[in-house]
Amino acid sequence: MTAAERAFAAIDGLRDECVAFLVDLVRIPTVNPPGERYEECARMIGDRLGSFGYAVEYVRPRAARDGPPRVNVFARLQGAGVRPTLHFNGHIDVVPAGDRGAWSHEPFGAELADGALWGRGGADQKAGLAASIYAVEALRRAGVGLRGAVEQSATVDEESGGFAGVAELCDQGYLRAGRTDHVIITEPLGVDRVCIGHRGVYWFEVTARGQAGHGSMPELGHNAAEAMARFIARIERELKPRLAARRTAMPVEPPASRSASISLNALHAGQRPDVEQTPVVPDTCVATFDRRFLIEEPSATVRAEIGELVAAEATADGGIRWSVRDLMLVEPTETPADAPTRRAVADAIQRVFGRPAAIVASPGTYDQKHVVRRGGVTDCVAYGPGILELAHRPDEHVRLDDLVNATKVMALATLALVGEPGVP
Predicted confidence (pLDDT) per residue in 349-398, tens digit: 999 999 999 999 999 999 999 999 999 999 999 999 999 889 999 999 99
Q: Structural domains in the chain? A: 3-198+333-418 (3.40.630.10), 200-330 (3.30.70.360)
φ and ψ at 34, to 5 degrees? -100, -5
Band of residue 64 on the pLDDT scale cut at 50, 70, 90: confident
Predicted confidence (pLDDT) per residue in 36-55, tens digit: 999 999 999 999 999 999 99
Distance, in Å, from the CA atom of 43 to the CA atom of 25, rounded to the nearest integer, reads 11
- Tell me, what's the pLDDT at 250? 98
- Tell me, what's the pLDDT at 424? 58
- Tell me, what's the pLDDT at 154? 98
φ and ψ at 122, to 5 degrees? -60, -40
Query: Mean pLDDT over all residues of the chain?
Result: 96
- Tell me, what's the pLDDT at 310? 98
* For residues 299-308, average pLDDT: 98
The answer, yes or no, to whether residue 422 has pLDDT greater than 80, is: no
* For residues 14-41, average pLDDT: 98
Distance, in Å, from the CA atom of 114 to the CA atom of 337, rounded to the nearest integer, reads 38
Verify cis geometry, omega within 30 degrees of 0, for the bond prior to 33: yes
CB-based contact 292:253 (threshold 8 Å): no
- Tell me, what's the pLDDT at 65? 83
Q: For the whole model, what pTM was predicted?
A: 0.92
CA angle 316, 301, 318 (to 5 degrees): 15
The answer, yes or no, to whether residue 223 has pLDDT greater than 90, is: yes
The answer, yes or no, to whether residue 421 has pLDDT greater than 80, is: no
- Tell me, what's the pLDDT at 423? 59
The answer, yes or no, to whether residue 23 has pLDDT greater than 90, is: yes
Contacts with 202 (C-beta within 8 Å, 6 or more apart), sequence order? 291, 293, 299, 302, 303, 306, 326, 328, 329, 330
* For residues 21-36, average pLDDT: 97
* For residues 405-424, average pLDDT: 90
- Tell me, what's the pLDDT at 274? 87
* For residues 9-30, average pLDDT: 98
Reduced to 3 DSSP states, what percent helix, strand and coil does the chain have, rounded to the nearest 5? 35, 25, 40
Share of residues in the chain with pLDDT > 90 (%):
94
Predicted confidence (pLDDT) per residue in 78-109, tens digit: 999 999 999 999 999 999 999 999 999 999 99
